[in-house]
A and B are shown apart, each in its own frame.
Chain A
């Protein structure tokens, strides 16, 4: 089946630094990748939609300059959290849609200290 590989699984960083999260589609080409954020005991909230070779589309209230998304190839999309602060601590999950369904990565737990 379609697999989306997400790395790292968890990361701890100091406040003010940047963190990059990668999502790769292993056995299919993902022209579109969706990025979600999930706070404890809450559901998934869509942050942005990235399309290969073009600018990402951000949801209302999501800071474009803080959450940089790059979708440079059909198999790789990255999310960079810039100048991270403790309030950015969350669970970040990517998703792609092969053949009409939606496959999710395993998620990245980001803790900013």
Chain B
């Protein structure tokens, strides 16, 4: 069974204080690992897709990396507007899980000014 575990559950940062969010996964044949941002009462907003170990992607203050067992979302010099829940999800490569996303519990990020 595909599993995704995110840590920490909640993270409080001061504006400008860089940190990282972790996503550990077990999946039968990784097809893709996805990072989303979700604001309260809204649907997830796409951030990154990573496909193979060693891959990295960046967008503004965010950088996502991938190994064979986990992914990190690095946040550099965060601002209050980066406050949100960050979700990690994996897509398995075959079998009955094909096409489905399995989500982690999310990390609630709060950035204080």
Number of chain B residues whose Cβ lies closer than 8 Å to a Cβ of chain A: 20
Q: Are B101 and A102 in contact (CB under 8 A)?
A: yes
What residue of chain B has the Cβ atom nearest to residue A104's Cβ?
A: B43
- Near B by CB (< 8 A), chain A positions 46-100 give 46, 49, 91, 93, 95, 97, 100
User: Which of A32, A42, A46, A104 touches B44 (beta carbons < 8 Å)?
Assistant: A104
Whether, in the assembled complex, B95 has its beta carbon less than 8 Å from a beta carbon of chain A, the answer is no
The interface of chain B, by Cβ under 8 A from chain A, is: 32, 34, 36, 41-46, 49, 87, 89, 99-106
SS class, residues of chain A in contact with chain B: strand
Q: Are A43 and B103 in contact (CB under 8 A)?
A: yes
State whether A97 and B99 are in contact (beta carbons under 8 Å apart), knowing that A6-B43, A43-B106 are contacts in the complex: yes
Can you spell out 30 A-B residue pairs with CB atoms less than 8 angstroms apart? A32-B99, A34-B100, A43-B103, A43-B105, A44-B44, A44-B89, A44-B101, A44-B103, A45-B103, A46-B101, A46-B102, A49-B100, A93-B43, A93-B44, A95-B43, A95-B101, A97-B99, A100-B49, A102-B46, A102-B89, A102-B101, A103-B46, A104-B36, A104-B43, A104-B46, A106-B42, A106-B43, A107-B42, A107-B43, A109-B41
